[in-house]
């Protein structure tokens, strides 16, 4: 019999939408969260030559020293923060890093506080380590910025960790330095630990990015190469660990993961050494796409209520339209040929919303906007059970 833990793991709806959308002809995909850029050329060259040099064996579980030093140099360059490479654990993607962090922190029955909305997979990570999810609501009028006082109200004696994500999926909100500092203070005062997923760092528009490490060393900070370097399938990430947990996380990594792929770690060094102008260009492209969609949403008469400042997502309130958000998502897929993700994937607080991803080229986004314009002119005719 399938374990209770596995039975409680919910499907990732964006993947279900993708599967359905792939069965239809001529669909514009605004549901996927995967960058449409290629990794830097030096990443390919380094991976290939590293492979040819025979770097295909296991490495130390915590990762190759060159990569851990390159990650430390990245924090110094980007944020002026000194990170001891001894606190860095390289992982096969950000996701396994989160598993290690929660496995090191949470005992069965203890709680992890998440924001609502949150990245769809977070509750399933918490359940997998036997933890319990508590949520604190985010509000569009705060720009979906978490507030330390809301977190404080969400804590109990059983709370071990506060799981945050900035820039955020699905809202695109970027936490400001003051909020990060407040959360760090709250965690210290309540003997809880922030776990901060910074995988979208590098993809912020018109705002400064801050890492939690500027405010505390007593936090787990997750990051990886999937988004900033468009290296999703390469499976490479890292975890910065508070000193007191280094040994435990290393033992967990040795047992559960063995290591990240050897030659991919070399490619990671090349990625981190990419000249910054490439990212500046990519960021500008994402910003243009965001602006295009933000304007389109206003023209559809929907109130976005905030400006998404990072990642590549917009969370759009569709209460103005007939039917619930699932009906509207079905309508957009079947009538307009545009796939988006129903917000309920990201928590109850997002049930009236749809997530639009702009990780696709500008022509496709323009096409999607035209299709939605045309379809919405008939939206009053949506039967509330559309597409079921
Ligand atoms: C917030 C967030 N964290 C983590 C991940 C997964 O990252 P990785 O590919 O590095 O495992 C995603 C992927 O979409 C994400 O949106």
pLDDT tens, residue by residue, 215-239 = 999 999 999 999 999 999 999 999 9
Shortest-distance Cα residue to atom 16 of ligand 1: 169
Residue 30 sits in the same domain as residue 130: no
Query: What CATH code is carried by the domain that includes residue 227?
Result: 3.40.640.10
Q: What is the CATH number of the domain that holds 32?
A: 3.90.1150.10
Report the separation in Å between the CA atom of 352 and the middle of ligand 1, taken as the mean of its atom positions: 23
- Closest C-alpha among 271, 277, 221 to residue 245: 221
Report CA(267)–ligand 1 centroid distance (Å).
19
Q: Please report, in angstroms and rounded to a whole number, the separation of the first and last CA atoms in the chain.
A: 31
* Closest atom, ligand 1, to C-alpha of 96: 11
CA dihedral (135, 10, 103, 188) in degrees, to 10, reads -10
* Same domain, yes or no: 259 and 118: yes
**Number of neighbouring beta carbons within 10 Å of residue 72:** 19
Ligand 1 site-directed mutation target among 172, 199, 223, 264, most atoms within 8 Å of CB = 199
159 falls within a domain: yes
Tokens of 181: 């500092």
Distance of CA 130 to CAs 5, 57, 107, 110, 170, Å? 7, 33, 7, 8, 25
For every residue of 240-270, DSSP letters joined together read E--GGGHHHHHHHHHHHT--S-HHHHHHHHH
Closest-lying ligand 1 atom to the alpha carbon of residue 236: 10
Closest approach atom of ligand 1 to CA 311: 16
Among residues 227, 247, 272, which one ends one of the domains? 272
* Cα dist from 386 to 20, 29, 112, 138, 344, whole Å: 15, 20, 37, 29, 17
362 domain residue, yes or no: yes
**d(CA 349, ligand 1 centre) in Å:** 21
pLDDT in tens, 51-63: 999 999 999 999 9
**Helix (H/G/I), strand (E/B), else coil: 144:** coil
Is-contact 346 117, C-beta < 8 A?
yes
* CA 237 to ligand 1 center in whole angstroms: 10
Distance in angstroms (rounded) separating the CA atoms of residues 325 and 352: 5
Which of residues 247, 272, 297 is at a domain's end? 272
Task: Specify whether 258 is located in the same domain as 308.
Answer: no
Domain membership flag for residue 86: yes
Work out whether the CA dihedral 332, 334, 339, 340 comes out positive or negative.
positive
Q: Give the tokens for residue 134.
A: 């508590």
Do residues 231 and 260 touch, judged by C-beta distance below 8 A?
Answer: no
* Cα of 119 from ligand 1 centre, angstroms: 8
123 closest CA partner among 98, 87, 86, 151:
98
What parts of the chain have a pLDDT lower than 50?
383-388
pLDDT of residue 380: 64
Q: Could you tell me if 170 and 206 lie in one domain?
A: yes
Token output for 131: 């933890």
- Domain co-membership, 83 together with 130: yes
Residue 48 lies in a domain: no
Provide the residue range defining the domain that includes 26.
4-38+277-376
Residue 387 located in a structural domain: no
Q: How far apart are CA 249 and CA 99, in angstroms?
A: 10
Domain membership of residue 384 (yes or no) is no
**Paired residues of 95 in beta bridges:** none
Is residue 149 domain-resident? yes
Give the whole-angstrom CA distance, residue 147 versus residue 90.
31
Among 272, 290, 312, which residue terminates a domain? 272
CB-CB neighbours of 288 under 10 Å: 14
Q: How far apart are CA 99 and CA 105, in angstroms?
A: 10
Same domain, 342 and 219: no
The per-residue pLDDT for range 265-298, each reduced to its tens digit, is 999 999 999 998 999 999 999 999 999 999 999 9
Query: Mind listing the pLDDT tens digit for each residue in 94-124?
Result: 999 999 999 999 999 999 999 999 999 999 9
Pocket of ligand 1 (CB under 6 A): 33, 93-95, 119, 165, 169, 197, 199, 224, 226, 232, 237
């Amino acid at each position: 019999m399938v374990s209770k833990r596995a039975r409680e793991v919910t499907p990732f709806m964006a993947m279900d939408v993708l599967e359905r959308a792939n069965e239809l002809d001529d669909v514009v995909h605004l549901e996927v969260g995967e960058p449409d850029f290629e990794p830097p050329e030096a990443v390919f060259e380094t991976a290939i030559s590293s492979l040819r040099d025979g770097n295909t064996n296991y490495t130390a579980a915590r990762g190759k020293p060159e990569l851990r030093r390159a990650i430390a140099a990245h924090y110094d360059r980007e944020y002026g923060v000194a990170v001891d490479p001894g606190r860095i654990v390289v992982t096969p993607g950000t996701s396994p890093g989160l598993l290690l962090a929660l496995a090191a922190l949470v005992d069965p029955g203890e709680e992890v506080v998440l924001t609502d909305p949150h990245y769809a997979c977070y509750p399933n990570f918490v359940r997998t380590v036997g933890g319990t999810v508590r949520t604190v609501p985010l509000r569009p009028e705060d720009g979906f910025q978490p507030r330390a006082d809301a977190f404080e109200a969400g804590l109990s004696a059983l709370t071990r960790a506060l799981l945050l994500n900035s820039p955020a999926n699905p809202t695109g909100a970027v936490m400001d330095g003051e909020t990060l500092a407040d959360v760090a203070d709250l965690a210290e005062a309540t003997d809880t630990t922030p776990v901060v997923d910074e995988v979208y760092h590098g993809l912020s528009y018109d705002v400064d990015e801050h890492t939690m490490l500027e405010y505390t060393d007593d936090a787990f900070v997750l990051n990886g190469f999937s988004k900033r370097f468009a290296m999703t399938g390469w499976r490479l990430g890292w975890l910065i660990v508070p000193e007191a947990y280094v040994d435990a996380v290393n033992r967990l990594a040795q047992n559960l993961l063995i290591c990240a792929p050897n030659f991919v770690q070399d490619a990671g060094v090349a990625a981190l050494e990419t000249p910054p102008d490439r990212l500046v260009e990519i960021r500008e492209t994402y910003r243009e796409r965001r602006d295009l969609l933000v304007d389109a949403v206003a023209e559809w008469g929907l109130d976005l209520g905030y400006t998404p400042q990072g990642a590549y997502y917009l969370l759009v309130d569709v209460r103005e339209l007939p039917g619930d958000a699932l009906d509207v998502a079905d309508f957009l897929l079947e009538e307009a040929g545009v796939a988006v993700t129903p917000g309920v994937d990201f928590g109850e607080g997002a049930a009236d919303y749809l997530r639009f991803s702009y990780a696709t080229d500008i022509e496709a986004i323009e096409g999607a906007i035209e299709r939605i314009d045309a379809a919405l002119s008939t939206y009053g005719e949506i039967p509330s059970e559309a597409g079921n």
